[in-house]
Amino acid sequence: MNAHHEHEFEAAPGLPEPLPRGERLLWQGSPDFRMLAIHAFHVRKLALYFAAMLGLQWLYLLGEPNAALLRPLLTSAGMALLALALLTTIAWFAARTTLYTLTDRRIVMRIGIVLTLTFNLPLRQVAGAALKPQAAGHGDIALTLAGKDRIAWLNLWPHARPWQLKNPQPSLRCLPEAATVGARIQQAWSALHPDANAVLGDAIPTSEPARAPRERGIPTVAA
């Protein structure tokens, strides 16, 4: 696995250097910023939280004169809207500056808003992947890496599988047509491992809370 900082000097979009001879580009894509705002930055949950807090504040201020009631409520509502707008804007920038690339030999993740990093993940070092479906065909694809090399969770976030802090798993977040992308990853992986089977199932053990949605695996190494 290699990390680069040469976004400004990309040989091609999402690639810090030209592809070697014989390596083929199979797919490129980016997260959907709306889904990224919901699932990575949790704007929907925060909106519900702010609404509940405003309701409690309104109950607390009942009986006050209209001016004394409206002023703090409007201030709180304005601060809540500002926070949600900032998080949505960050999600937009994160999606706009992210480009995932799949070739017949590796997965390349170009991520980062201010400091851009490019991670090269050879398919031979990918031990498994799991698809977490979302609405309208979107989804996350989390990758399990073979060997002892790991990428720090903070370097990956928000392009990391949630709750996996001890063993961070790079994740292609909030992809449109995620199942189709997963099938392409499976095909590319199988082409490099002709003697192994790509098994559909739970590819990655989970340590998420018990009520977390169950994930549907894509390629799992079964040598």
Q: What is the pLDDT of residues 41-94, one digit of tens each?
A: 999 999 999 999 999 998 888 877 776 778 889 999 999 999 999 999 999 999
DSSP E strand boundaries for 84-212: 99-103, 106-111, 117-122, 126-133, 139-145, 171-175, 197-198
Which carries the bigger pLDDT value, residue 202 or residue 101? Answer: 101
Element containing residue 189 per DSSP (H, E): helix 178-192
The helix or strand, by DSSP H or E, that contains position 33, with its residue range, turns out to be helix 33-39
- Helix pair angle (66-96, 43-61), 10° resolution: 170
The residues near 130 (Cβ < 8 Å, ≥ 6 apart) are 141, 142, 144, 202, 203, 204, 215, 216, 217, 218
Separation in Å, CA 104 to CA 20, 28, 172, 221: 11, 12, 17, 17
Helices (H), 63-164: 66-96, 153-156
Predicted confidence (pLDDT) per residue in 132-181, tens digit:
999 999 999 999 998 888 899 999 999 999 988 888 999 999 999 999 99
Q: Hey, where are the domains in the chain? A: 2-17+99-222, 37-94
Q: Are 156 and 170 contacting, i.e. CB atoms less than 8 angstroms apart?
A: yes
Domain 2-17+99-222 annotated CATH 1.10.150: no
Global pTM? 0.82
Would the pLDDT of 204 be above 90? no
Which residue, among 29, 26, 25, 14, has the nearest Cα to 176 in the 3D structure?
29
